[in-house]
Amino acid sequence: MSIKIKFLGAVRTVTGSMHLITNGDSKIVMDCGLFQGHREEYYTRNSHFPFDPGEIDACVLSHAHIDHSGNIPNLVKHGFKSRILTTSATRDLCSSMLPDSGHIQEEDIKYLNKINKRKGLPARKPLYTRIDAEESLQYFDGHPYEQKITIKDDVSVTFYDAGHVLGSSNPLLEIKDNTGPIRIAYAVDLGRKNMPILNDPVTPPDIDYMFLESTYGGRLHSPPLETKNMLADIINSTVKRGGKIIIPSFALERTQEIVYYLNQLFDEKLAPEIPVFVDSPLAVNLTEVFFKHPECYDEEMYDAFKSGKDPLGTNKIKYIKAVEESKQLHKDSRPMIIISAAGMCEAGRILHHLKNNIENPANTILIVGYMAKNTLGRRIVEKHETVKIFGQPYNLKADVKIMNSFSAHADRDEIFEYVKPLKDSIKGIFIVHGEEEQSEKLYNLLKENNFPVHFPHPGDEIELNGNSS
């Protein structure tokens, strides 16, 4: 038997994380993320698997983000019948996130089919529905951190905290081939030290090979500790102008982190206590999952939680589920903070908030997350003079502020620090999960420092032979 790795998704790009690891008859799929891109490619890439899902022994899921978990319902639709192994918190987050994703697929197809009908084109089916997503949840098998789970005689997995989002992990696969056990770590979304709420990332022990992310392989972030002050400055200056602060945010983690900081700022009187609305039904559900998993908290969050301090500000912050309430916000002219999804401004309620607020120079659009190429979020980051929302042009007059200290991904130096202790023992590092330019920068940095580093292309397969290949 020999171990082979096939690099299938999030290779020289950031979305659609998925890799296949085989050892003789054993087949493990690592993540099954949704590839996000232009419509045709989106449907083709996500609806075809380059392996038979019915033959897979387990899907090992690193964390709940849709670019890692979002194609699981489709995997199940295509015949997958074994376990989806992950942490307990990831399982609970996916119970809301996957059905929500199914709902988005259905809405998206409704919209597309309206256009197709006008053009006389045939109607299409969604990639998967909310019901498909709910079906797939029965295969989820959640586990605590740092407990070894046997998949087959020759394969086991242990989850180590990745410090990236609640429940995130760097799974460590232990596979026995002819040469003995080989340990493969999967650090495809690596978090940072000193982030609020979460623990620092943990390095699994005795790693032979490692998948390594490179989202920010060539960039540096501001330290997380500066976040609070920067946020206070933005609130103070916007309130002085009588404006609103619109924050496009991922429903998972980023929203809870912002709320966590706002709560502290208000308590410490570092910013005026203006109304805060979290306008995203998904974010409301995910925040509830946070309360169920104190085992994922860092010490500060745990202490605050245990002593009943309400660290996620449930008393101060208004969580909105109903559409009507969301619409009411447009009529309310008070300075306020609106945190809304989707994170890259491609869909969802954030579009309405942007449409209503983007042309007013008193307002601030606060960017707190990664904006992929070809998204409205990226055009706002690049400060285009006009941007299209629902097909209509709008002048971008609001102040755009970018805070990258919220990033849940390690930057160049943080990644380097993470792998540095492994230098003399590791047999291979595979650079994945980054836009090509960023991945290449990390690849060069590690190569210059004499790491056995590889930079695969999508679809490449490599055989591990115990030596670096």
- What are the residues binding Zn ion (CB under 5 A)? 65, 67, 189
Nearer to Zn ion, 90 or 280 (CB): 90
Distance CA 322, CA 345 (A): 20
CB of 169 to Zn ion, least distance (A): 11
Could you tell me if 408 and 254 are in contact, meaning their C-beta atoms sit under 8 angstroms apart?
Answer: yes
Closest-CA residue to 135 (of 99, 177, 183, 84):
99
**Which CB, 67 or 411, lies closer to Zn ion?**
67
Least Å distance between CB 33 and Zn ion? 7
Q: Least CB distance from residue 91 to Zn ion, whole Å?
A: 16
Identity of the residue, 174 or 189, whose beta carbon is nearer to Zn ion in the bound complex: 189
Closest to Zn ion by CB, 67 vs 154, is 67
Q: What is the largest CA-CA distance in the chain?
A: 69
- Could you give the CA distance from residue 133 to residue 105 in angstroms, rounded to a whole number? 11
Output the smallest distance, CB 329 to Zn ion, in A.
29
For Zn ion, the closer of residues 65 and 244 by Cβ is 65
Is 236 in contact with 458 (CB distance < 8 Å)? Answer: no
The residue to which tokens 């792998």 are assigned? 419
Of the pair 211, 266, the CB lying nearest Zn ion is at: 211
Smallest distance, Zn ion to C-beta of residue 94, A: 13
| CB nearer to Zn ion: pick between 215 and 264 | 215
Q: What's phi and psi for 208, nearest 5 deg?
A: -95, -45
- Whose CA is closest to 277, among 332, 348, 199, 211? 332
What are residue 384's phi and psi, to 5 degrees?
-60, 145
- Looking at residue 55, what DSSP letter applies? G
Counting Cα atoms < 13 Å in the Cβ hemisphere of 460 gives 14
In the complex, the smallest distance separating the C-beta of residue 189 from Zn ion, rounded to whole angstroms, is 4
- 3-state secondary structure at position 260: helix
Kindly state the tokens that stand for 427.
């047999």
Q: Per the omega criterion (within 30 degrees of 0), is the bond before 162 cis?
A: no
Q: How far is the CB of 449 from Zn ion (least distance, A)?
A: 25
Pick 67 or 100: Cβ nearer Zn ion: 67
Nearest approach, Cβ of residue 44 and Zn ion (Å): 21
83-87 and 58-60 strand pairing:
parallel
Comparing CA positions, the residue from 289, 26, 54 lying closest to residue 174 is 26
